[in-house]
Amino acid sequence: MKKQTFMEKLEEKLMPLAAKISGNAHLQSIRDGFALAMPLLIIGSMFMLISNFPIQSWMDLLRSTEINGNTIASYFSAATNASFTIMSIFVVIGIGHAYGTRLKVDPLFSGVVSLVSWFILMPFSFEFTPEGSEEALTINGLSFDWLGSKGVFIGIISAFLAVRIYKMIVDKGLVIKMPSGVPPTVGQSFAALLPAAFVMTSFVLIKFVFTLTPWENAFNFVYSVLQLPLQHIGGSLTAMVLVYLFAHALWFLGIHGTNITDSMFMPVLYALSAENLAKVSAGQLPENIINVQFQNLFATYGGAGSTLSLLIVAVMISKSKRLKQLSRLSILPAVFGINEPVIYGLPIVLNPLLLVPFILVPTVNIIISYITMNIGLVPIPNGIIMPWTTPPVVSGFLSSNWQGALLQVVLIIIGCIIYYPFVAAVDRNNLIQEESEESVEA
């Protein structure tokens, strides 16, 4: 009996797990829901970046110059408040729409009924202590805390539960069917009437049950029992390293590892980023080192495995025709985070020569970045969401000032040092293969 190699054993263990995770309807819906909100979050973050660009004279100008009784900074804040500050609304609609699509029920009504159900559970009053007063006032209205990052997890749960109840009622045939001559839009509205009524009634009952508990409402319960512990765990260095080890092991097997891990990890990272952005908006320093920016801007450069460092080394030292051509063609896309040509063309997939640096370099990036931010050498990312194609140095400056840009340069150089002997070995193998092919042709 043939003995299995390490690579075969690794593939045997991880492939079924990856297939199960990537095919999970709930995780796919979370991923797609955040994808729907992503453009709005980026745009809102850009307005926040403009009003908080790291030049003190610029910030003072925006905050002191008034137009029609409002500062210029307040106009920029309006765009942020209409996007990032109420991010949970977009996430709930997006997840409900995506989950409804996968359950084969009307996706539009799935998104709407998810949002309504979430609002039913939400408390419509909050306590506010005026400046200079010691007595808290009860204000009737919606809290931006629940509309923002604090409402993300209860929003995810509400969307899944609402769409599942909606699907159950539809499958039982409890829908109002209109005559064939009725316009389709009207027919769809009446078809959604009874399922939506069942969903809303169910959430009213849930709301009532939570009024009998010490938490008083479902939002307090989910935030204190589920979201806070998950943010504490997910915001740790250990969690980030483990997630990246798993993601890169999947990449090595040819599976898009970050797509799988992001569907589970991104809700935590977005909540942590939103908290940082709220701190910056209030003129305070951000506190969460691990967040979306930390992952996107400091963990990897040039895509999974920080292959920008690999390509820099390859361009500098390669002698084989194959590696020389591939590296020169791939280095510009890698600057913008696109590295599929390297992953599948070099290849890195199932290439034992590159397994160690491919996993080691991102791990080193994470550890060094965390330490430098923890001791205060580099500012913690400000929570501003940037497109993942933003090149290094620029992204580091916008997120963590000049120290962040310098840190990125240092990490790219360290990555080059780690990749060097492995790239040299690949280049030697390619040279031997090319010389062998030329001799056969001769």
What is the tens place of the pLDDT at every residue in 84-94?
778 889 889 99
252 occurs within a structural domain: no
Contact assessment for residue 304 and residue 355, using Cβ atoms and an 8 Å cutoff: no
81 occurs within a structural domain: yes
Check pLDDT > 50 for residue 127: yes
Q: How many CA atoms lie within 13 A of 75 on its CB side?
A: 10
Same domain? 227 vs 312:
no
**Closest Cα partner for 383 from 259, 309, 291, 316?**
291
Q: Which of 246, 274, 298 is at the close of a domain?
A: 246
Same domain? 351 vs 227:
no
Check pLDDT > 70 for residue 103: yes
Same domain? 237 vs 284:
no
233 occurs within a structural domain: yes
For residue 383, what are the CA distances in angstroms to 54, 244, 350, 400? 14, 20, 36, 10
Same domain? 25 vs 145:
yes
Q: Which of 186, 214, 246 is at the close of a domain?
A: 246
Same domain? 213 vs 291:
no
pTM of this structure: 0.77
Q: What is the span of the domain harbouring residue 401?
A: 266-441
**Spatial separation of the C-alpha atoms in residues 130 and 126, rounded to whole Å:** 13
Same domain? 216 vs 350:
no
Instruction: Work out the pLDDT band at 1, boundaries 50, 70, 90.
Output: very low
Same domain? 187 vs 278:
no
pLDDT at 442: 58
What is the tens place of the pLDDT at every residue in 267-293?
888 888 888 888 887 778 888 899 888
Mean pLDDT, the chain, integer: 84
What is the tens place of the pLDDT at every residue in 350-395?
788 888 899 999 999 999 999 999 999 999 998 887 877 788 998 8
**Spatial separation of the C-alpha atoms in residues 173 and 169, rounded to whole Å:** 7
**Closest Cα partner for 29 from 146, 219, 162?**
162
**Spatial separation of the C-alpha atoms in residues 420 and 273, rounded to whole Å:** 34
What is the tens place of the pLDDT at every residue in 160-169?
999 999 999 9
Helix or strand holding residue 70 (H, E): strand 70-71
Same domain? 299 vs 187:
no
Q: Which of 218, 246, 274 is at the close of a domain?
A: 246
Same domain? 119 vs 58:
yes
Tally of structural domains, the chain: 2
Query: For the chain, what percent of residues have pLDDT higher than 70?
Result: 90
226 occurs within a structural domain: yes
Same domain? 177 vs 300:
no
**Spatial separation of the C-alpha atoms in residues 3 and 23, rounded to whole Å:** 31
pLDDT at 190: 75
Same domain? 188 vs 312:
no
What is the tens place of the pLDDT at every residue in 22-76?
677 888 888 888 888 878 877 877 787 777 776 778 777 888 888 887 888 888 8
Lowest-confidence segment of 6-20, 177-191, 249-263, 328-342 by average pLDDT? 6-20
258 occurs within a structural domain: no
Same domain? 229 vs 367:
no
Q: How far is CA 408 from the centre of its chain?
A: 20
260 occurs within a structural domain: no
What is the tens place of the pLDDT at every residue in 178-212?
776 666 777 777 778 888 899 999 999 999 999 99
